[in-house]
Amino acid sequence: MSDNPELIGALEERIEAKDALQVSAMLEALPMADRSLVIDRLDDDTQEQLMVLIPPEQAAELLEKMPQAQAIDILDGIDPERAADIIEAFDSDTAADILGELEDEETEAILGEMEPQDAADAREMLAYDEDSAGGLMRSEYLAYSLSATVGLVTEDMRANAEIYTDYDVQYAYIIDDEARPVGVLRLRDLLLSTPATAVTKIMLPRPLVVHHAMEQDELAQLFDDKGFVGLPVVDDAQRLVGVVMRKSVREAAANNVAEDFLKVSGLGGKEELRSMPLVVRSRRRLSWLSINIGLNVVAASVIAAYQDTLTQVIALAVFLPIISDMSGCSGSQAVAVSIRELALGLVRPVEMMRVLGKEMAVGCINGVVLGTLLGAVTLLWQGNMWLGAVVGGALMLNTIVAVSLGGMIPLFLKRMDLDPALASGPILTTVTDMCGFFFVLSMATMVLPHLV
């Protein structure tokens, strides 16, 4: 097993001894998935020493397979000259992503150490918004002039086969003198034509192009509609600047789902790895918990307002946390359905009334079922029918509130341009707690003589 402490110890020792060959060989001998795990187990300094020791290409390969937050931490800690060598070994898309996440100062230092042409390319990529076609595209692509022949293209592909293997080539583009794409060449068609054929004969003319500012949602829709694997990206002057691949857009969408998961779990959408420094992990989690403590105190103030009732019917204190937790769960289910439907494009933020109707119906059924259940438990446990009616009735009403609100909050936040995954949970639980406590305690106050 790769989480073998002996292996990690041996690797640490070889890194310490600066034995580059042996370290490279030890890593190569491991399956790729295990390499990330082993490196994760080294301390920060050793990770940085390792990346400096091995060839930049090998370092780039390892860093590309790691969670991005970890790769950035490592690059942040090493000499900019060496970091530049490693970043030059990434493809342009990944290089820009990584450079964009580093501190500005560090990014500048690294760009200063890169080959002038590579640095200029990277700066260009960095200027694009991360979620736009420009941010998702890669600047490696095949382009030939209008005068090219099939023979010339295949000749070029043969000569540069090594380099092009990394390009993930499916199409070649034909560009005019102003670098504007005027045609697409499918590899398949090259295969079926004689060398003397002009590319203009077999290219598909007037290719669909996307502007670099097109957003990820729109790109995803376009790929769904048209079924292409890649699309040429153009600048304001309609010049070809890159190619955006369907799989990059899909990957970005998948990452968004994963981010939503972290946000809903109170981790603010930032990836946390246990190998990160304790202070970072603790601080990130606290930033959300300390807001939550405030919201909790607000909600609990409703209880404080009914201390007289509580003093007389102390059994109510047993049921307050139950009402709070159950309503939170019912509401969270509705929140999750809305976040998912928003992500899948099955609901639009304006359709709040439709969602309200749908959720209210579920809320009523589930409210009646859960209220009756809790009411019966209360009756059996505490032997007071009135108490059962109060507790069950409160849960019933509050389930309807929680489910309806849970369905609508994400749509409302989306309309306000706020992040549904981040804010829906806290808003939901604060409101449902307040309502829930109010329902139980005000109803109890009304029938107080029957409860004492």
Residues 73-132 within binding reach of its own copies (CB under 8 A) = none
- Binding status of residue 7 toward its own copies by CB under 8 A: no
Q: With CA atoms as reference, report the closest residue to 212 among 175, 186, 257, 242.
A: 242
Tell me the chain's radius of gyration from C-alpha atoms. 30
Distances (CA, A) of 435 to 318, 345, 444: 17, 31, 14
Residues 430-449 within binding reach of its own copies (CB under 8 A) = 433, 437
In this chain, which of 18, 201, 206, 348 binds its own copies, going by CB under 8 A?
348
Instruction: Find where tokens 């509580």 sit.
Output: 310
Residues 124-153 within binding reach of its own copies (CB under 8 A) = none
Region from 75-83, 127-135, 136-144, 273-281 binding its own copies, contact rule CB under 8 A: 273-281
- Binding status of residue 303 toward its own copies by CB under 8 A: yes
In this chain, which of 261, 385, 415, 447 binds its own copies, going by CB under 8 A?
261
Q: What is the DSSP letter of 306?
A: T
In this chain, which of 46, 200, 296, 445 binds its own copies, going by CB under 8 A?
296
Of 211 and 247, which CB lies nearer to its own copies in the complex structure?
A: 247
State the Cα–Cα distance between residues 124 and 96, nearest whole angstrom: 9
Residues 220-239 within binding reach of its own copies (CB under 8 A) = 220-221, 224-225
Of 85 and 433, which CB lies nearer to its own copies in the complex structure?
A: 433
- Binding status of residue 214 toward its own copies by CB under 8 A: no
Region from 71-79, 101-109, 135-143, 184-192 binding its own copies, contact rule CB under 8 A: 184-192
- Binding status of residue 278 toward its own copies by CB under 8 A: yes
Residues 13-42 within binding reach of its own copies (CB under 8 A) = 31-33, 36-37, 40
Tokens of 89: 């070994």
Kindly state the smallest distance separating residue 111's Cβ from its own copies, in Å: 29
Asked if 137 and 121 count as a contact pair (C-beta separation under 8 A), the reply is: no
Kindly state the smallest distance separating residue 148's Cβ from its own copies, in Å: 15
**CA 200-201-202 angle, 5° bins:** 95
State the Cα–Cα distance between residues 64 and 62, nearest whole angstrom: 5
Q: In what order do the strands lie in the sheet with 230-234?
A: 210-211, 230-234, 240-245
- Binding status of residue 274 toward its own copies by CB under 8 A: yes
Asked if 387 and 378 count as a contact pair (C-beta separation under 8 A), the reply is: yes
Asked if 441 and 310 count as a contact pair (C-beta separation under 8 A), the reply is: yes
State the Cα–Cα distance between residues 52 and 41, nearest whole angstrom: 17
Binding mask 320-339 for its own copies (x = CB under 8 A): xxx-xxx-xxx-xx-xxx--
- Alpha-helix residue ranges (DSSP H) falling in 89-185: 92-101, 104-113, 116-126, 133-136, 150-159, 161-165
- Binding status of residue 353 toward its own copies by CB under 8 A: no
Kindly state the smallest distance separating residue 131's Cβ from its own copies, in Å: 17
Region from 11-19, 71-79, 188-196, 410-418 binding its own copies, contact rule CB under 8 A: 188-196
Asked if 375 and 307 count as a contact pair (C-beta separation under 8 A), the reply is: no
Number of Cβ atoms within 10 Å of the Cβ of 203: 22
Instruction: Specify the 3-state DSSP secondary structure of 325.
Output: helix
Kindly state the smallest distance separating residue 54's Cβ from its own copies, in Å: 18
Residues 152-171 within binding reach of its own copies (CB under 8 A) = 154, 157-158, 161
- Binding status of residue 10 toward its own copies by CB under 8 A: no
Of 107 and 382, which CB lies nearer to its own copies in the complex structure?
A: 382
Residues 371-430 within binding reach of its own copies (CB under 8 A) = 373-374, 377, 381, 429
Region from 78-86, 95-103, 121-129, 266-274 binding its own copies, contact rule CB under 8 A: 266-274
Say what the alpha-carbon torsion angle 339, 135, 281, 87 is, to the nearest 10 degrees.
Answer: 150
Region from 71-79, 109-117, 138-146, 369-377 binding its own copies, contact rule CB under 8 A: 369-377
Of 281 and 450, which CB lies nearer to its own copies in the complex structure?
A: 281
**CA 245-248-253 angle, 5° bins:** 135
